[in-house]
Copies of this chain bind each other. A is one copy, B any other.
């Protein structure tokens, strides 16, 4: 089965699209709500939390884990892929959310002027700049952090003037730089997609990161039958164990809280289970 890891709720925007694109798989979603948000923590802390979570998902039988959190993708993914995974789970794979979006942005950008917005950690890590430059060294990248949007979304303030004001401020310098493509580098921001599109204007393409991640995952599985076949095998096993349910939602804080806010992200009622990492 496929594991989806996020620091909290945000990864549900990514998971929703993955589930839609690949409905026949079994999934475990794990939200580390006890330690969320990762956005302002040290790199060391983010790495430790992410390693623990990913290890947990592999122990549950996942063969492929998607780190749906931008902060964790920026601060922990590379080390996990290069050092930790080969030693501990050489047959398994971990993918992040930055790489697929970067590939897409580099492909569609008309004038090579790309804007990135995200939490403070993600922006400070310069992970998007690094990955975009690797993809095409001629790209010009302008980025800005917008840390207030996560609490605003979690407080349900999506259409409020405070939120619009925050987005406007965040985009001002990127607009001046005449970007042609905008990456929403935080999993909460797709819930503000319309506001971002309205404020940045029609000339800029705002990437729908969850959709891009899901499409690239379909591609990836087609190109890697050795991984794809292993996931398939686990599917039946999970369905039998969990009363035919193909999705489990795990959280490190109270399951009630997860169910309430998580259902809003997914758009239908979900059942949460509390786990300890």
Contacts and interface: CB of A to CB of B under 8 A. Distances in A.
Interface residues of A, number: 24
A41 B31 CA distance: 13
Contact of A42 (B42, B148, B165, B253): B253
A91 to B, nearest CB: 32
B162 A45 contact: no
B165 A155 contact: no
A75 to B, nearest CB: 12
Nearest to A157: B148
Interface in A125-183: 147-148, 150-152, 154-155, 157, 161-162, 165-166
A44 interface: yes
- Which of the listed residues A147, A157, A162 has the most CB atoms from chain B within 10 Å of its own CB? A162
A250 to B, nearest CB: 15
A19 interface: no
A45 B147 contact: no
Contacts of A148: 148, 151-152, 155, 157, 162
Q: How many copies does the complex hold?
A: 2
A107 interface: no
A44 B254 contact: yes
Contacts of A45: 34, 253-254
Contacts of A35: 34-35
Interface in A243-274: 253-254, 256-257
Nearest to A151: B151
Interface string A13-55: 0000000000000000000011100001110110000000000
A162 B253 CA distance: 30
Contacts of A150: 151
A266 B227 CA distance: 53
17 contacts: A33-B41, A34-B35, A34-B45, A35-B35, A40-B154, A40-B257, A41-B253, A41-B254, A42-B253, A42-B257, A44-B254, A147-B151, A147-B155, A148-B151, A148-B162, A162-B162, A162-B165
